[in-house]
């Protein structure tokens, strides 16, 4: 399930970047020089990566981790009760 969500988000961001990158890149290149355009496009890629991780992968990973820890706590013996 986690892989499906990540794959869907990757496909969306890939398609969106294929559409938007030439438009944004040409706009930035006409306003600034090539070096600054490359730097700004790199920042956009970092922002895309953070959006993917925080909003798509993060909640699923942390919720699965909580479920695993609850199951682990149920399996471990509690020696403090004796």
Write the pLDDT tens digit of every residue in 25-71: 788 888 888 888 888 888 888 988 888 777 777 666 667 667 777 77
Q: What whole-number distance in Å separates Cα of residue 25 and Cα of residue 20?
A: 8
Beta carbons within 10 angstroms of residue 39's beta carbon: 11
**H and E: helices and strands count for the chain:** 3, 0
Residue 16: both structure tokens together: 């969106």
In the block, tokens 């199951």 appear at 71
Q: What whole-number distance in Å separates Cα of residue 44 and Cα of residue 26?
A: 14
What Rg value do the Cα atoms of the chain yield, rounded?
21
pTM reported for the whole predicted model: 0.49
């Amino acid at each position: 399930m986690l892989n499906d969500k990540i794959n869907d988000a990757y496909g969306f961001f890939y398609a969106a970047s294929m559409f938007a990158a030439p438009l944004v890149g040409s706009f930035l290149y006409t306003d600034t020089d090539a070096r600054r355009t490359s730097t700004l496009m790199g920042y956009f890629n970092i922002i895309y990566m953070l959006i993917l991780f925080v909003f798509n992968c993060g909640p699923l990973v942390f919720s699965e981790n909580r479920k695993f820890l609850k199951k682990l706590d149920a399996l471990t013996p509690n020696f403090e009760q004796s």
